[in-house]
Amino acid sequence: MKTKLLNQFITKKPSIEERIAAGKELRKKFPRIKHGDYKPSPKRVDPLSILEQQGKNRVQNLVPIRYARMLASPFAFLRGGAAIMAADLAANGGTTGIKVQTCGDMHVANFGIFASAERNMIFGINDFDETFPGPWEWDMKRLVTSAVVGCKFLGGDEAICKESALAAVKSYRKHMKEYAMMGNLELWYSRIDTKSVLNVIPLNVRKRFFKITNKAHSRTNMQVLEKLTNIIDDKHLLREDAPFIVREKKTLAGRSIEEALGLFLESYFQSLADDRKQLLKHYRIVDVARKVVGVGSVGTRCWVIFMEGSHDHDPLFLQIKEAQASVLEPFVDGHSYQNHGERVVAGQRLIQGAPDIFLGWGEQDGIDFYVRQLRDMKGGLEFDPEKVKIENFPLYTSVCGWALALAHARSGDAAMLAGYVGNGDELDQAMAKFAFAYEKQNEKDFKAMSLAAKTGRIAVAVDA
């Protein structure tokens, strides 16, 4: 008797041409111009209430640091407000119905250069805390909005802000068409390596690109050793910098750090392949500290484990980071994972394709975590108006659009997506229109948060 799984493998699949045609047909159901629409729902939830609700599940004395970091600029607010935008996207009038493994928190600062398992330098998405199966266009709308908000933060005028948004969508369409024509294995093995990026950027930008890649190359475990540790009694220990890096004796659940770490490692170890387990066994734990990370992530539990191998110049730094429910989860039928750490890891493996060799997950006292190496040859664009040349920003967003296309092609139906997005610029213009409309919403919400800080509704840290 044929099983359901066997039937799946013996059933003839639609051709590339048929799937492209199906994507084109979807334009009748959901015209591309419709993506430009944005109006806040009459029942829109107060954005500060969304942040406050998130804060209830976080380390309470760190929440004011999160608010302070979000209040640094409208762009920082957008970065930290993924849950706000998710609710707005869900209430904004339907989708095409094409689902992918979304990043869930797609913005221009969530890309970077990192080393593959083979130590090749790759460009791609580098933050997966909110990853979830969902509508492809939600990632794109958040990306183009971040292009406009980020460009304004860097000092760009309306013209270059629009150019940056258009560049991201145009690149997405172009590369999706290429991925649609690939065989499944060819697509699976596709990477955006540094050589590929060099081939599409002009000579006058290459110096800046080399600077970024060289910085990523330098961010090794030895660099972390120098930056995060002090030598005390002839041995390296993690450097405390309260409240951002703190060595604690007990967890919030009241367990000693030693007991909690032992229980967690037993859980995490089960998520690793045997070869990774064997490698990890060669290291011993030297020190552990709690660390504040990111903007939107501030307040979630995060620990750094400093380990040592064959000698004191063989360090390994693992980051244990809490994984809470994705901001998309209330709005999309989702995943089958019981552990949110596993959700993050599975999503990263699917859409990044070249993840950290120590990527894994575990659970401790009912809290889900995932594990990755700290830094490990990672580098990205620094949103510093004094360092970034604004005229290069559209080029950068076009590479981001390329990376997003690869992520969606790997996890969704590239041919159907290619058929829907098409060859003309109708989608580009619509997405840019949405980006400017939502930029105004983001600015309004940022001002509301600033007022909440002034009136004392929220407590904001002085030094974040």
Q: What's the confidence (pLDDT) of residue 83?
A: 97
Strands 315-322 and 302-308 turn out to be antiparallel
Single-letter residue type at 195: K
- Give the neighbor-by-neighbor strand order of the sheet with 360-364: 245-246, 284-291, 302-308, 315-322, 367-373, 360-364
Q: What's the confidence (pLDDT) of residue 232?
A: 73
Q: What's the confidence (pLDDT) of residue 261?
A: 86
Q: What's the confidence (pLDDT) of residue 217?
A: 54
Q: Which of 248, 244, 285, 293 is nearest to 268 (CA)?
A: 285
Q: What's the confidence (pLDDT) of residue 385?
A: 59
Integer Cα distance of 175 and 393 in angstroms: 19
CB neighbours of 173 closer than 8 A, spacing ≥ 6?
405, 418, 421, 422, 423, 427, 428
Q: Is the pLDDT of residue 311 over 90?
A: no
Q: Is the pLDDT of residue 180 over 90?
A: yes
Q: Pick the residue with more confidence: 20 or 112?
A: 20
Please, are residues 180 and 341 in contact by the beta-carbon 8 Å criterion?
Answer: no
- What angle, rounded to 10 degrees, do the helices at 47-55 and 82-90 form? 130
Q: Is the pLDDT of residue 381 over 70?
A: no
pTM assigned to the model = 0.92
Torsion over CA: 218, 113, 192, 159 (sign) = negative
Count of beta carbons in the 10 Å neighbourhood of residue 276: 15
Token pair recorded at residue 253: 């659940």
Please, are residues 342 and 320 in contact by the beta-carbon 8 Å criterion?
Answer: no
Average pLDDT for the chain: 89
Mean pLDDT of 453-462: 95
Q: How is the chain split into domains, by residue range?
A: 15-217+383-455, 221-373
Region of poorest pLDDT, from 64-68, 69-73, 252-256: 252-256
Per residue in 106-136, pLDDT (tens digit) is 999 998 887 776 677 788 898 999 999 999 9
Region of poorest pLDDT, from 56-60, 64-68, 158-162, 198-202: 198-202
Region of poorest pLDDT, from 156-170, 197-211, 389-403: 197-211
Q: What's the confidence (pLDDT) of residue 354?
A: 65
Residue that has been written with the tokens 């000579």 in this structure: 203
Q: Is the pLDDT of residue 344 over 90?
A: yes
What is the percent of the chain with per-residue pLDDT over 70, rounded to a whole number? 90
Per DSSP, the three-state class of 347 is helix
Q: Is the pLDDT of residue 214 over 70?
A: no
Region of poorest pLDDT, from 43-52, 209-218, 293-302: 209-218
Q: What's the confidence (pLDDT) of residue 152?
A: 96
- What angle, rounded to 10 degrees, do the helices at 158-180 and 426-455 form? 130
